[in-house]
Amino acid sequence: MYIPRPAKLLFTIDDGWNKFLEKHGDSVSSWTRLSVERMLACGTCSMGVRRYCCASPDCSHSRFFCQGCKSKACSSCGFKATEQWLAQHVHILPDCDWQHITFTMPHLLWPFFNNNWPLLNALFRAAVQAMLQWARKQGSEIGIFCALHAYGRQLNQHPHIHVSVTRGGLDSKHGVWRELFLKKRVVEEIWRGAVIKLLRHSYDLINPGRLPCLGHIRDRKQWRRYLKAQYGRCHRSCKTDPLGIIRTFLYG
């Protein structure tokens, strides 16, 4: 069954995009119009179709695939901008194997980061410090770059951080390269502690009492008690759900 992409639904339900243009079309730039139109045409015959055939001369089987739009406005593509960024920055990255890690958290913690950009920015530092702390204990300095995703693929709220880490580091004493692997369970423990510590010190910024689900929290003491319970929840979800806290894989 065909399921329209979430970004397309936002623009096409009740003919929303065309109605918006009727009222505010003069304020929409031609570039914005083009980006939205390409996004709406993404994955349809309007963007062109590719035909793939079996290499065997005795097989007549073939399949057709509609092309993507490569537009920054498309939640499924964004391909061109990504390629441009890589071309501009790949030369400054160490030529070595990399380890990719995804830092996430239980869904009960997501509302604290909703529209709270200072806290999301601090989450970056928490993720980086979680890895630097472990690597320095091993006597190495590692390379890191990361990207924040505030939403999931279905455009649902899901704050998480994608981190790429060098599969080795410079020895802090001798300056030579050492192979290094960030062990999953060790980093998970550091990450859980970093997130809870960040939230504990962000009581005023979060103001949990304003959230409908946390109206019972009236002071910092109750806030710390709640976070202690969530830390335990993180620990249990780590054991039962391997994707609950951190995911990792290697690439060269």
Give buried/exposed letters for 180-190 (b at 16+ CB in 10 A, else e): bebeeeebbbb
- On whether the CB atoms of residues 64 and 51 are closer than 8 A, the answer is yes
Alpha helices in the chain, H assignment, sequence order: 6-12, 16-24, 30-41, 79-89, 117-137, 184-200, 203-206, 220-240
CA gap 169, 78 in Å, rounded:
31
Q: What per-residue confidence (pLDDT) applies to 21?
A: 92
Q: Which residue has the tokens 């969530």?
A: 230
**Would you say the C-alpha torsion 31, 32, 38, 42 has a positive or negative sign?**
positive
Q: What per-residue confidence (pLDDT) applies to 232?
A: 65
Q: What per-residue confidence (pLDDT) applies to 252?
A: 37
Q: What per-residue confidence (pLDDT) applies to 106?
A: 78
- On whether the CB atoms of residues 180 and 167 are closer than 8 A, the answer is yes
Q: Which residues of the chain have pLDDT under 50?
A: 1, 236-252
Residue 103 neighbours by CB under 8 Å, 6+ apart? 127, 130, 160, 161, 163, 191, 245, 246
Tokens of 123: 């989450």
Judging by beta carbons within 10 Å of its beta carbon (0-12, 13-18, 19+), is residue 166 exposed, middle or buried?
buried
Tokens of 27: 């304020």
Residue 169 neighbours by CB under 8 Å, 6+ apart? 135, 138, 140, 141, 142, 143, 177, 178, 180
CA gap 51, 62 in Å, rounded:
7
Single-letter residue type at 144: I
- On whether the CB atoms of residues 77 and 69 are closer than 8 A, the answer is yes
Residues 195-229 have pLDDT tens digits of: 888 888 888 888 887 777 777 788 888 888 888 87
CA gap 142, 148 in Å, rounded:
20
Residues 94-104 have pLDDT tens digits of: 888 888 888 88
